[in-house]
Every structure is written in C-alpha cells, then in structure tokens.
Amino acid sequence: MGDDFKERLKTLIIEALCLEDVTPDDLADDTPLMDSGLGLDSVDALELVVSVEKEFSIKIKNSEEARSALRSIDSLAQFIRARQAASA
C-alpha cells in the first residue's frame, strides 16, 4: 500500500467532493484537507467521511476522530491503514 494507495485515496477525495480540474498530481501528500488546503467545510467533511468508510470498509467513530484523520492526505492514509490493520 505505497503510492498506489495514496493515489487511490486522492482520486476518492476528488470524486467524493466533485473537485473539477483537480488531478491526484495536484494534491500533495501533506495537503491540508480542512481550512487552508482544500478548504473543506463540515458538509464536505461528512461526504468525505462517508466515502472513505464505504470505500475502505472502516468506521470513523466521531467528529473528533474525523477532524484528526482529515488533517491531511497523509494523516487520512495513516488513519485508514491503522484501522484496516486493527480489523485484520
């Protein structure tokens, strides 16, 4: 689950949020998802959480956990990997 995993995650983010004219290459691994980066609002964050849960068969338990996971693409990738490892 190296670069292919992050590319898959970036593609999911782009599709879930309907980001036009954005490609996975446009998103750095340390791109903040909330606030200054992609500037997600709470509705965007919820849509992304639902998409991530469905795509990767994990559960994000609450808003605090979501806020932590959605700090950046790297943090989201680490969160997903940790959840998948814990359920394996």
Q: Does position 87 have pLDDT exceeding 60, yes or no?
A: yes
Query: For residues 56 and 40, what is the distance between their CA atoms, to the nearest angstrom?
Result: 20
Assess whether pLDDT exceeds 50 at residue 22: yes
DSSP letters for 14-36: HHHTT-TT--GGGS-TT-BSBTT
| pLDDT for residue 40 is more than 90 | no
The gap from C-alpha 63 to its chain's centroid, in whole angstroms, comes to: 14
1 falls in which pLDDT band (50, 70, 90)? very low
- To the question of domain 3-87 being in CATH 2.170.260.10, the answer is no
